[in-house]
Structure 1
């Protein structure tokens, strides 16, 4: 998930910079950027769901954890997540090819998903897939949280750590959900404040793309005592 977030942030930051410098880009170039951004965006909620499921197995079925969560199965699961998101992105290209002329790919547009894939079918398919994926992810997060809460001993240190991790996963999933309402919110704010369109787009980018992925190192770092000690020292401007 960390590698996925690094790729996502690198691509979105590069695309944001190119958009501010050139404003419009060739559709062919935008298609490559948008596809990889879509892949890494849709990977994040699925990664969080399966990581919560792994914590559930580790706490509720500790004797079976090493047999169920093997390295081979982890690789298969990662490949399955990538396959789901790749199919989602590739289907957008086929729909666009069927509904647009080839000259469209030689034109220049503002590099947004709705401009690169203008067909209304793409938007309908995207909304449907987002609803299904979010329902599945939230179901897994809620189920694993309550199972850990009621199945493990209250005094268990591992249970508390797993429970707190899943809570943070839920917060991160909630923040990732903002990407699904960001286009409507951005358009509404631009209509209200047309003179501040670049600032609004940048603020939405930071809120929707940067903040949810900034939680990843915190989620896994703050549970480590050594990391927590040094982070506290740096925040308090103390030397260790």
Structure 2
């Protein structure tokens, strides 16, 4: 009887895990379809790819698509216990490390753009020009890649040549040979968290001051910008909490494996998938011009659109 209960419990657990994996596949597929439609809309109108906030928006969509795709592939490989060579895992880690930080750093840059547009309107055309945006994108990628460089520079000095051709289940913990490497990674994440939260709070306070002093149409526009900053702040908070997830999961792995699996699944849904579905909400639906263009192309031009396409 006990054996039967054990088997039934194992089958129930397997069905639960299968259901979770299938649920993630559905979510990822839906998000990728929505983001692809938004990216197509972005490239269909000149105004969008000549305006800084839309360029940064498109960059978050592209990075989110790649991040979701790679994390989903890694999830499937881990679920089926597929071992891969460590040099392939290293490439995956470099991609994920970059795009883990790229979205929150880009969101911070988008918040600064809203701050300049509302609080420094006379300088907006200069500070947020297309040329400045290209420089900003390079800076964002550089800042986002610094944590990866810090971790890998230590890894390269410690790893032997034979390590790269070994086969193993791919995870970030493989590249941490010493306990202090984990502490360094944690310190970098917390530093990024503090800097980005400080920028969000500063922009919110400054825009709030302008909103209170504004009147008429300016007041309406300012409050709309303030709500956008609040949504950016919430999205950024979810992304930044994601930076702490590996340390919580590592602690749970040492104590309770089943709890570790459940928490890791919750973290993936809440702090990886959820923040990356908020971008379409913030710009794809709330931005009137982008929404009209999105509706126009989604309906294959059948709707009567007030914008000149």
- The alignment's TM-score, normalised by the length of structure 2, stands at 0.67
Residue 237 (structure 2) aligns with: 174
Q: Which has the higher contact order (CA 8 A, sep 6+)?
A: 1
Are the counterparts in 2 of residues 93 and 117 from structure 1 also a CA contact under 8 Å?
no
Residue 27 (structure 2) aligns with: none
Are the counterparts in 1 of residues 208 and 226 from structure 2 also a CA contact under 8 Å?
yes
Q: 1:60-71 counterparts in 2 under 5 A?
A: 60-71=119-130
Residue 27 (structure 1) aligns with: 86
Aligned equivalents of 2:127, 2:246: Cα separation in 1: 40
Q: Structure 2 stretches of 5 or more lacking a match?
A: 1-59, 296-309
Structure with the greater alpha carbon radius of gyration: 2
Are the counterparts in 2 of residues 30 and 116 from structure 1 also a CA contact under 8 Å?
no
Is 1:107 equivalent to 2:166 in the alignment? yes
Aligned equivalents of 2:257, 2:94: Cα separation in 1: 29
Residue 214 (structure 1) aligns with: 277
For residues 132-162 of structure 1, give each alpha carbon's deviation from its aligned partner in whole angstroms, at most 9, with x where no partner exists: 2211111111111111111231651211111
Residue 196 (structure 1) shift: 6.5
RMSD of aligned Cα (Å): 2.5
For residues 87-115 of structure 1, give each alpha carbon's deviation from its aligned partner in whole angstroms, at most 9, with x where no partner exists: 43234333112112111112223211111
Is 1:86 equivalent to 2:149 in the alignment? no
Aligned equivalents of 1:195, 1:150: Cα separation in 2: 49
Aligned equivalents of 2:155, 2:166: Cα separation in 1: 14
CA pair 65-114 structure 1, distance change in 2 beyond 3 A: same
Residue 189 (structure 1) shift: 5.0
Residue 197 (structure 1) shift: 5.5
Residue 53 (structure 1) aligns with: 112
Count of matched residue positions in the alignment of Structure 1 and Structure 2: 230
Q: Which moved more, 1:183-192 or 1:218-227?
A: 183-192
Residue 185 (structure 1) shift: 3.1
Aligned equivalents of 1:150, 1:195: Cα separation in 2: 49
Q: Structure 1 stretches of 5 or more lacking a match?
A: 232-240
Is 1:146 equivalent to 2:205 in the alignment? yes
